[in-house]
Amino acid sequence: MSSTTRTRRPSGLESSATRFRDRAIARRRRPWRRAAGVLVTAALLGGVVYVGGWTDVLGVHDIEVTGVSGAEARAVEQLVSVPLGTPLVRVDTDTVEADVRARVTVAEVSVRRQWPRTLRVEVVPRRAAIVVKNPHGRLQVVDATGVAFGTVRAAPAGVPIVTAVGSRATSPEALHAALGFLDALPDDLEKKVTAVKVSSANLVTFRMGPRTVVWGGEQDGEKKVRVLRVLLTTKAAVVDVSAPDTPVTR
């Protein structure tokens, strides 16, 4: 005689109650899971902020200067007052730029963070537009904006020399007048120019072959050039175009 064991299946009512209980437990656990996830995320973010902002892991290990080289690059680097190890994210790039821009040989500067450990200083140096021989005989290099930024023993190749005569000859206004005169002259006339002198903002003179030309100030450059071309066809030893509407020859 055999016996059969029957497995009791839960009724539909019991099955619904079990699912209801499981869902209720899951709902009670869900806020805790969300809270745990938020805490873990916050901890990770806090760790990243701490490492990036308060340790030297992402700190300044190298200062890279571009645009200049040699002694000039070393001089610029010395102006970067950022201790090695300072977190890159905490470097005040505006302050660094201001410190570097204070160097007279620097025309423009840009400071960037180059992750993970480099502070990059990009420099645009001033370029000589003219060399001014001052009343003391020293040769000063002057850029296109009229800033004198150094002295040299000899003028760089291709850079015109302007002799400053008198106490007002090296003022910013006088230097602008000399630069304006050179900008106004076309190439064919500029090649004939020698012995440029500046006495003030209103008096630039130069030699052109056997003639002395009185240019004046930096105003009316184009008109002066037109008048000068006409007067160069004469035999005058002195051509004065400082007032181009009433030029003078003698």
Mean pLDDT throughout 67-96?
95
Q: Please, what is the average pLDDT of the chain?
A: 85
pLDDT of amino acid 243: 97
Residues in the chain: 250
d(CA 15, CA 12): 5
Output the pLDDT for position 158.
Answer: 87
Secondary structure (3-state) at 130: strand
Q: How many CA atoms lie within 13 A of 41 on its CB side?
A: 6
pLDDT by residue (tens digit) across 182-234?
999 999 999 999 899 999 999 999 999 899 999 999 999 999 999 999 999 99
Give residue 18's pLDDT: 64
Model confidence pLDDT, tens digit, residues 132-154: 999 889 999 999 999 999 999 99
Place of tokens 């005040």: 92
Tokens 């850029």 correspond to 143
Identify which has the larger pLDDT, 10 or 68: 68
pLDDT digit string (tens) for 95-124? 999 999 999 999 999 999 999 999 999 999
Domains of the chain, each with CATH number or no CATH: 59-125 (3.10.20.310), 128-249 (3.40.50)
CA distance 127 to 144: 8
| Mean pLDDT calculated for residue range 29-36 | 58
The structure's pTM equals 0.71
Work out the percent of the chain whose per-residue pLDDT is above 70.
78
Average pLDDT over residues 171-182: 92
Is residue 207 packed enough to be buried (19+ CB in 10 Å), middle (13-18) or exposed (0-12)? middle
